[in-house]
Amino acid sequence: MTSKNITDMTQGNPTKHLLLFALPTLIGNIFQQIYNLADSIIVGRFVGANAFAAIGATSSITFLFFALCNGIGGGGGIVVSQFYGAHEDANVKKCIVNTALIMLIVPLVIGTLGFIFVPQFLRILSTPENILFDAISYTRYMCVGLLFVSLYNFLSSMLRALGDSKTPLYFIIFSIVLNITMDIIMVCILHKGIQGAALATIIAQLTSVILCSIHAYRTNPYFRFTCDDIQLSRQMCYRVIRLGVPMSIQFGLIAISSMAVQRIVNSYGTIVVAAFTATNRIEQLIHQPYTTLGTSISTFSGQNFGAKKNDRVLSGYYSGIRIMIILTLLLIFIMQFFGQAITGLFVEDEAIISLGTMGLRITSLFYLALGMIYVIRGVLTGIGDAFFSLFNGIVEIICRFTIPALFCSYLGFGETGIWISSGVVWLISGVTAWIRYLTYFRSKISIETGSSI
């Protein structure tokens, strides 16, 4: 099948493919994070610091729900990219259909359970009483919208697996513009508070899912299904789940570990919660270039591994490392010299700004380790290494349950230890990723090609 929206990465310059594929995805991810920033700024400025802190106190829980769903979609995307690289068109369509069926069920189950048990989760995290009501309300709205968010991410994952990173960009920009518009209406004009911000997100995501589905059907031949295509395949579901479940567990473990950190943050009071929320929002933006690069490498690796072009997988890995190093140096410079100005966008409280600025300067020193995680994870996921996702999640959850307590309490760093521990966790995760690269990646790729890594 051919289409202007599909890119074959099994031919041509690897660096060029990575950059051309990554650019639209990066722009889309940055727009998404700009929306998150705008959403936080609108709530922080027009509702108040407590509402701003309430959103921050729920971030680890909502991330857990989204992560458990999106891992399945990511696994399906890898399988699709491998089938596409092997030119097995029928299996591409079959995989899209079966992943979609799974993605209809998983968010409904997780969203329902989350809606019921949100109060218990937030109390376990020692959420301050003065923000507890808003935190419960906001999280329950997010549980209602979980299906729409998951379906949109599923569509984006499938399109990117086929080399189309432009369509997700167009619709994420549309979603963000609609979301910010609804935020202004709900929060600033109708004074619906934190609930209005959550409702604006749901409306925007639902609209994007509908329009993106229609566009994919009209422009991409792999989304035009016949009755023969729309069949449940146990074998295909197993293949998607085999890759997707470890990714979901990995993301879920990371989310649970983030909840452990959030509990420590909450114990220091509203000012520290607000400062941590501000740095979290900024670091979510920082993560986007790395996430985008990892996604590009994953798609590139998946297509070329499916086409049995292992030498190109290796070339793509090296290109990714070079791009990551240049990117990291730029981000460190920005955080070291402009961290205070960026933190000041969220709140006017000088204590919060000072603490947040310090946090950004600390964590930026560990960005190289963070970048290595995404590059190595991208190539390992692309060649079908299901074990690494699970193992990496286990390492991170162990670290986040132990290291923050070590630095904050036992070593006497206090709240400063929150940000130091984040960097140390990245460092340890980066080392474990490197070890996995030296074992699994070498045996899978370099030995077959006769290359030396």
The fraction of the chain above a pLDDT of 70, given in percent, is 93
**Window from 16-30, 396-410, 417-431 with minimum mean pLDDT:** 16-30
Range of the domain at 210: 14-448
Give dist(CA 211, CA 390) in Å, integer.
34
Residue 449 pLDDT greater than 50, yes or no: no
Quote the number of domains for the chain.
1
Is 36 within a domain?
Answer: yes
Structure confidence at residue 35 (pLDDT) = 66
Is 425 part of any domain?
yes
Residue 65 lies in a domain: yes
In a domain, residue 209? The reply is yes
Residue 195 CB-half CA count within 13 A: 8
Mean pLDDT of 135-144: 89
Q: pLDDT for 254-280, tens place per residue? A: 777 777 787 888 888 888 888 888 888
Q: How far apart are CA 360 and CA 349, in angstroms?
A: 17
Q: Is the pLDDT of residue 365 over 90?
A: yes
Q: Does the structure show a pLDDT above 80 at 131?
A: yes
Tens-place pLDDT, residues 372-392: 998 998 888 888 776 776 787
Residue 214 resides in a domain? yes
What pLDDT score does 332 carry?
94
Q: Which tokens hold the place of 318?
A: 């090296």
Whether this prediction's pTM lies above 0.95 is answered by no
Please indicate, yes or no, if residue 330 is contained in any of the structural domains. yes
Residue 108 domain-assigned? Answer: yes
**Within a domain: 5:** no
- Residue 450 pLDDT: 46
Summarize pLDDT for 281-335 with one digit per residue, the tens: 788 778 888 888 888 888 888 888 888 888 888 888 889 999 999 999 999 999 9
Given a cut of 70, whether residue 33 has pLDDT beyond it is no
Q: How confident is the model at residue 49 (pLDDT cuts 50, 70, 90)?
A: confident
